[in-house]
Amino acid sequence: MNREPRLVEVRKNVLKQNDVVARELRQRFREAGVYVVSLVSSPGAGKTTLLERTLTLLNRRYRVAALVGDLATENDAARLRRSGARVEQIVTGTVCHLEAAMIQRIIEGWELGALDFLFIENVGNLVCPASYDLGEDLRFVAVSVTEGEDKPLKYPTIFNSADVALVTKLDLAEAVGFDRAAADANIQAVRPGMPVVHLSARTDVGMDQFLELLERQLIETRTPSVVESAP
Amino acid sequence: MNREPRLVEVRKNVLKQNDVVARELRQRFREAGVYVVSLVSSPGAGKTTLLERTLTLLNRRYRVAALVGDLATENDAARLRRSGARVEQIVTGTVCHLEAAMIQRIIEGWELGALDFLFIENVGNLVCPASYDLGEDLRFVAVSVTEGEDKPLKYPTIFNSADVALVTKLDLAEAVGFDRAAADANIQAVRPGMPVVHLSARTDVGMDQFLELLERQLIETRTPSVVESAP
């Protein structure tokens, strides 16, 4: 137990180093005009299914690509490539989260200016990814109706690290007796004012709202602000 | 990135220290004759529901208690106490797993000899708990039918750290189109020969098999071996 303070100190340095790389990434993304979206959730919350549907739908009108993190296997990348988008897998080994340096390494040499959206699917984990900035513009935390309404209360840090909450697998809400009011109240208790989108990538319920949110963000990012456009 | 080797080294020391405490715990559990069972899974796989049902059913014939780990909230302990069993919550803060020292601290002063079973529900996480021995006799890894059949391939380390796999929420198998043969094949691919119990704590399907397994283990542990009983 006497090792703990030292571990915390070393961990702080790792996080500081991650923040430096994340800042560089964010700058690079901004200059290229690509809007970067990350997804965190527990394993099996439906990140890959949502991403597959999203890439398929967006690919008709936008230039999209995705990076997917997993401890092992390249299966998700293979699945996502069916959408027609460029997809790369990041295999983390035993590391329970993506880090900015992993993103930096994999997009080395990419022509980012040729992209509208870049999606980053984190390793399935409601704890570890919270502390690692990946340079993204927007972070979604997804929780499925099958996981129970209490998850925001039990994993408050990840909800606080994210910008928007997604409630996934809405098509199963009735089968599991999902209490939407309780889930929403728990999200708001942890993070007052947090936007929430309820959706199902299987039935497409809520997908419109999700895609509109993404498109609105892209347009806003690319619109020069009044200050910048003044002479 | 130059800090990584140092982080790994410090982490190794923490793990070594954990193993020392876990060994002490295991010795203490054995002397007291209490059978200790731990549960790991991703968030929302149904650990607490399964444990609530298990405690309720076992409490009729055995002396049972439980420890539950969570980052935040004492909700699970309150839920589990309805079973009539003694339940204590371990709030880990930002730590994504239980450690042997946390168990040691919370059971200080307990009369372990007065227990038949002690259950330990880990923090919901398919990565971090893998490396931490808690001194338990048996570790279950639970994965729900709603999480998809690929989880063993994506989180092989946690399956290798566990003794028995549980496939939970079997009552939802049809609603989610769960492919049992594929799930079983993936478990066996990662961990050949791993015993698997399919169950639903909501409908009690498979609960008999699960409880029988626990009772058999308790009896085996308490039966003196031929060598020990020889003069």
B20 touches chain A (CB under 8 A): no
Task: Give the pLDDT of residue A71.
Answer: 93
Cα B102 from Cα B14, distance rounded (Å): 13
Task: Give the pLDDT of residue A230.
Answer: 46
Cα B152 from Cα B161, distance rounded (Å): 12
Residues in chain A with pLDDT < 70? 1-8, 225-231
Residue B230 in domain: no
Cα B210 from Cα B192, distance rounded (Å): 20
For A:65-124, CB contacts with B below 8 A are: 70-73, 75, 94, 96, 101, 123-124
**How many domains would you assign to chain B?**
1
Residue A231 in domain: no
Task: Give the pLDDT of residue A227.
Answer: 55
Task: Give the pLDDT of residue B6.
Answer: 63
Please give the model's pTM, rounded to 2 decimal places.
0.86
Q: Tell me, what amino acid is at B185?
A: A
Considering only CA atoms, which of A70, A6, A192 is closest in space to residue B10?
A6
Task: Give the pLDDT of residue B224.
Answer: 75
> Which DSSP letter does residue B35 get?
E
Task: Give the pLDDT of residue B195.
Answer: 97
**Cross-chain residue pair A147–B73, CB shorter than 8 Å:** no
Query: What is the overall mean pLDDT for chain B?
Result: 92
Q: Tell me the average pLDDT across B135-154.
A: 97
Query: Would you say residue B134 has pLDDT above 90?
Result: yes
Residue B36 in domain: yes
pLDDT digits (tens, 9 = 90+) for B3-53: 455 666 777 777 889 999 999 999 999 999 999 999 999 999 999 999 999
**Cross-chain residue pair A154–B7, CB shorter than 8 Å:** no
Strands of A196-198's sheet, edge to edge?
Answer: A86-91, A64-70, A117-121, A35-41, A138-144, A164-168, A196-198
* CATH code, domain carrying A206: 3.40.50.300
Chain A residues in contact with B150 by the CB 8 A cut-off are 73, 75
| Residue A38: strand pairing partners | A120, A139
B143 touches chain A (CB under 8 A): yes
B195 touches chain A (CB under 8 A): no
Between A43, A94, A151, which is nearest B151 by CB?
A43
Which range of residues forms the domain containing residue B147?
A: 4-225
- A167: helix, strand or coil: strand
Q: Are A139 and A162 in contact (CB under 8 A)?
A: yes
* Alpha-helical segments (H) within chain A: 4-32, 47-58, 75-81, 100-106, 151-154, 156-161, 173-176, 180-190, 207-222, 226-229
Query: How far does A114 lie from chain B, in Å, by closest CA?
Result: 29
Task: Give the pLDDT of residue B230.
Answer: 45
Residue A116 in domain: yes
DSSP B86-114: EEEEEE-TT-SS--HHHHHHHTTT--GGG
Task: Give the pLDDT of residue B226.
Answer: 59
**Tokens standing for A217?**
């963000």
Residue B136 in domain: yes
Best residue of A6, A7, A96, A103 to probe chain B, by most B CBs closer than 10 Å = A96
Residue A230 in domain: no
For A:160-189, CB contacts with B below 8 A are: 169, 172, 175-176
Considering only CA atoms, which of A157, A166, A169, A156 is closest in space to residue A204?
A169
**Cross-chain residue pair A128–B124, CB shorter than 8 Å:** no
pLDDT digits (tens, 9 = 90+) for A137-194: 999 999 999 999 999 999 999 999 999 999 999 999 999 999 999 999 999 999 999 9
The pLDDT-based confidence of B113 (bands split at 50, 70, 90) is very high
Residue B96 in domain: yes
Residue A162 in domain: yes
Query: How far does B42 lie from chain A, in Å, by closest CA?
Result: 6
Q: Tell me the average pLDDT across B184-205.
A: 97
If one counts every other C-beta atom within 10 angstroms of the C-beta of residue A60, the result is 8
The pLDDT-based confidence of B223 (bands split at 50, 70, 90) is confident
